[in-house]
Chain A
């Protein structure tokens, strides 16, 4: 039974408290939606979950064990999609995808590069240098990366940006299929990608230095 939790997380960036005492929990087959206005710290929280940032206070646990202390095993378990798409423009679509699948260190038998390209309708572009891709196609290539090699935890930062309706549908079914396999997802998005979801509203934990209004009569 996989469980991914964060306790009392506090994050400070550039002497500003982004959020404080933030707590979340994602169970097997669950999707956690991060909501909040622009600049509220959704991306920061995802980078924190990935281990790219360190929290000032609190800890992030995978099955009760600290992800920072077991960073090497933990990194085996996660896929991260950030704002940038990590695509080398001179490599072909397939070379880009295969490279990241190889870097995951996953057994070649368990990789599914061809299938991932197929799912995100990129097969016909496989041998095209990535510099000819449109913004939406680049995003799809980046999303295909998480399907090309298996990992139980997906951290997705605005995965539906610049996608058309059909591709959002593909993303939605990829997430559903991942959930059915018992996968965990944390996603910052404005789209509704799956039903019955947990929502974490980051603005509840942000400290915007505004005076509290509760005493106004």
Chain B
């Protein structure tokens, strides 16, 4: 158990170190997130009423797209430089290693999105009552996006036009998270309880936590053959 934990943490450390030294990658995801959100007032007009109504949806859709944008490099570099073969050949279960990579991915891309989201909510004139629930919903939802994304990232290894294929594969799987994430915030904005939606988001997180590492590991083994 101790060995598992040591390996788990050293993989997370390595991934975070890589993300920091490739700082631009994480920054680009955040910048993309901000840009997409900023485009909406330009597109639908700056009327505060409209922006308030669509704020939760816009932030969630932008978060979905940015999460996806960061996904395609998750295993691609390891696949190209041969690290993936060696990761498969380590004595530790590949599922555990996938989970470590997912956590590192969330820490370097999901977490910055959550941190910047209140600022974007402010830009979209969201009412203050929605902020707390928005943060809670993103905190439960973005790890789910990372977990589901690993399956897509593992399946596209070796494919042509992989980024495009990835979005076709995993965007549909993000829909439940999107629906409950947005509806949690909308409920809070009209003073209804948003606990049920948050519970569903928690359930989605647990289910993907239990299933996604296995599916991704299977896809990775297939890719190495």
Identify the A interface with B (CB < 8 A): 50-54, 72-73, 75-76, 78, 80, 82-88, 90-91, 95, 99-100, 102-105
Closest-by-CB residue of A relative to B93 is A72
Interface residues on chain B, number (Cβ under 8 Å): 25
**Which chain A residues lie closer than 8 Å to B21 at the CB level?**
90-91
**Which chain A residues lie closer than 8 Å to B87 at the CB level?**
103
B91 in the interface, Cβ–Cβ < 8 Å?
yes
Q: Contact: A85 with B89, CB < 8 Å?
A: no
Within B3-20, the residues touching A (CB, 8 Å) are 3, 6-7, 10-11, 14, 17-18
B88 in the interface, Cβ–Cβ < 8 Å?
yes
B129 in the interface, Cβ–Cβ < 8 Å?
no
Q: Could you say which of B3, B11, B92, B225 contacts A53, with CB atoms under 8 Å apart?
A: B225
Closest-by-CB residue of B relative to A129 is B21
Per DSSP, chain A at the interface is loop
**Which chain A residues lie closer than 8 Å to B92 at the CB level?**
103, 105
Residue picked from A78, A80, A90, A103, most chain B C-beta under 10 Å: A103
Q: Please name 12 further chain A to chain B contacts, defined as beta carbons within 8 Å, in addition to the given A75-B90, A105-B91, sorted by A numbering.
A: A51-B89, A52-B89, A53-B225, A72-B93, A83-B82, A84-B80, A91-B17, A91-B21, A99-B10, A100-B86, A102-B6, A102-B10
Residue picked from A54, A72, A84, A85, most chain B C-beta under 10 Å: A84
**Which chain B residues lie closer than 8 Å to A73 at the CB level?**
91
Per DSSP, chain B at the interface is helix
Known: A86-B85, A86-B86. A52 touches B10 (CB 8 A): no
Closest-by-CB residue of A relative to B92 is A105
Q: Could you say which of A78, A87, A88 contacts B18, with CB atoms under 8 Å apart?
A: A88
Known: A53-B225, A76-B91. A103 touches B17 (CB 8 A): no
Q: Could you say which of A76, A82, A91 contacts B82, with CB atoms under 8 Å apart?
A: A82
**Which chain B residues lie closer than 8 Å to A103 at the CB level?**
7, 10-11, 86-87, 90, 92
Known: A84-B81, A105-B91. A95 touches B86 (CB 8 A): no
Give B13 Cβ to nearest chain A Cβ, in Å. Answer: 9
Q: Contact: B14 with A91, CB < 8 Å?
A: yes
**Which chain A residues lie closer than 8 Å to B18 at the CB level?**
88, 90-91
Q: Contact: A105 with B85, CB < 8 Å?
A: no
Give B90 Cβ to nearest chain A Cβ, in Å. Answer: 5
**Which chain B residues lie closer than 8 Å to A52 at the CB level?**
85, 88-89, 224-225
**Which chain B residues lie closer than 8 Å to A84 at the CB level?**
80-82, 85
For the complex, what is the distance from the CA of A160 to the CA of B82, rounded to whole Å? 18
Give B65 Cβ to nearest chain A Cβ, in Å. Answer: 27
B128 in the interface, Cβ–Cβ < 8 Å?
no
For the complex, what is the distance from the CA of A91 to the CA of B10, rounded to whole Å? 14
Give B68 Cβ to nearest chain A Cβ, in Å. Answer: 24
Q: Contact: A99 with B14, CB < 8 Å?
A: yes
Give A139 Cβ to nearest chain B Cβ, in Å. Answer: 12
Q: Contact: B82 with A86, CB < 8 Å?
A: yes
Give A90 Cβ to nearest chain B Cβ, in Å. Answer: 4
Q: List 7 A-B contacts (CB under 8 A).
A: A51-B89, A52-B224, A53-B225, A75-B91, A87-B81, A90-B22, A105-B90
Q: Could you say which of A80, A88, A95, A100 contacts B81, with CB atoms under 8 Å apart?
A: A88
Q: Contact: A75 with B89, CB < 8 Å?
A: yes
For the complex, what is the distance from the CA of A178 to the CA of B82, rounded to whole Å? 24
Known: A51-B89, A52-B224, A83-B82. A95 touches B7 (CB 8 A): no
For the complex, what is the distance from the CA of A50 to the CA of B10, rounded to whole Å? 24
Q: Contact: A105 with B7, CB < 8 Å?
A: yes
For the complex, what is the distance from the CA of A76 to the CA of B3, rounded to whole Å? 12
Q: Contact: A104 with B82, CB < 8 Å?
A: no
For the complex, what is the distance from the CA of A88 to the CA of B73, rounded to whole Å? 14
